[in-house]
A and B are shown apart, each in its own frame.
Chain A
Amino acid sequence: MHELGIAEELLRAILPQAERHGAKRITRVSLRIGVLRAVVADNLSFLFEHVARGTIAEGALLAIEEEPVVVACPACGARSGAQMVVLECPACGAEGIGLSGGDNLQIVDFDIDD
């Protein structure tokens, strides 16, 4: 249920910006969400629809792009994508790799009717 807090934060972030641009309606919001944030896209869309009711974002579509986990290997220098945390470099098998992506929760852009 942590998607509810995220939906509220998202609305709070975009409404003032949309108003500054003279928006009559927000029609689409594009997000990039790291898989480590454990956000269920359907839950977030459902809850956003709920919190946006009665605002200019009512009915806006959430376009959610998943950001994969990225691991960086100090041994071979490879940066590899993964669907979850891994402990060995997918390229050379070395241990001691570092995590370098997959935990973002970003608003990329949004569409308005002005």
Chain B
Amino acid sequence: MGNVTIPVGQAVQQSAEAEAESLKALFDGHRLLAINLVSSPGSGKTTLIEALIGALSGRKRIAVIEGDIETDIDAARIRKHGVQVRQITTRSSCHIPPFMLREALAHIDLSVVDLLFVENVGNLVCPAEIPLGEDVRVVALSVTEGDEKPLKYPLIFRTSSLLAVTKIDLLPYVRFDVGNVETAARAINPGIGIFRLSAQTGEGISAFADRLAALHDRKASL
């Protein structure tokens, strides 16, 4: 009987990371590009996915997983576009946990999917911590939210490879300096790719769709 110190030196979330690895293997096996779309509530994630479905129509086969705490309102919106869609209602969870994504994917025929969009629960904190085995994490930030967000929520901007600045058609009406956002996002994550988008006017949507299509082309050709 004694008191012993056990050295560990491992990340707390190693088991979540192991689950994410197995999801990654699933995506890789189907050579599909998995996109984890994260943002605050109301930044326009669902509208962005709808615009991208239009822009990629005839080029890429799309499936969508919608994550919300409650309701299947978003899945119903996406279903109208004729793509495979499944709603996850996380109830108490502020992010999509890997096991819930796996359960939802059992209802999707992944063999006919090129791009899988996973729309995470609207929240700039928790989804940053939980990897889902995605190829690309896209953080969306709308111009109505304030340009200081990358400094306030650095982790989500650090772990995302693309930043979609959404609702830029509203720029004349709000105090939001896109340059400030770009400077801050690049200080936190120098390699981040930044796109200025408006799903209303269509500005920037085709360039963003082209980037995602190219990422899938590259993955599919490996």
Contact = CB atoms under 8 A, between A and B. Distances in A.
A97 interface: yes
B3 A112 contact: yes
B4 A21 contact: yes
B69 to A, nearest CB: 12
Interface residues of A, number: 38
Nearest to A6: B12
Nearest to B159: A103
Interface string A21-39: 1001001000100001110
B162 to A, nearest CB: 18
Give the interface centre of B97, B129, B184 by most chain A CB atoms within 10 Å: B129
Given A85-B154, A97-B187, A5 B130 contact: yes
Nearest to A29: B8
B183 interface: yes
Given A13-B15, A109-B5, A109-B7, A38 B125 contact: yes
Nearest to B129: A2
A90 interface: no
A21 B11 contact: no
A88 to B, nearest CB: 9
Main secondary structure of the interface of A (DSSP, over half): mixed
Contacts of B126: 1-2, 5
Contacts of A103: 154-155, 158
Interface of B: 1-16, 93-95, 97, 125-126, 129-130, 150-151, 153-155, 158, 183-184, 186-190
Interface of A: 1-2, 5-6, 9-10, 12-14, 17-18, 21, 24, 27, 31, 36-38, 84-85, 87, 95-99, 103-114
8 contacts: A2-B129, A6-B12, A6-B13, A21-B4, A87-B184, A110-B6, A113-B4, A114-B4
Given A5-B97, A85-B150, 8 more contacts: A9-B16, A14-B8, A18-B6, A98-B190, A99-B187, A105-B12, A108-B8, A112-B6
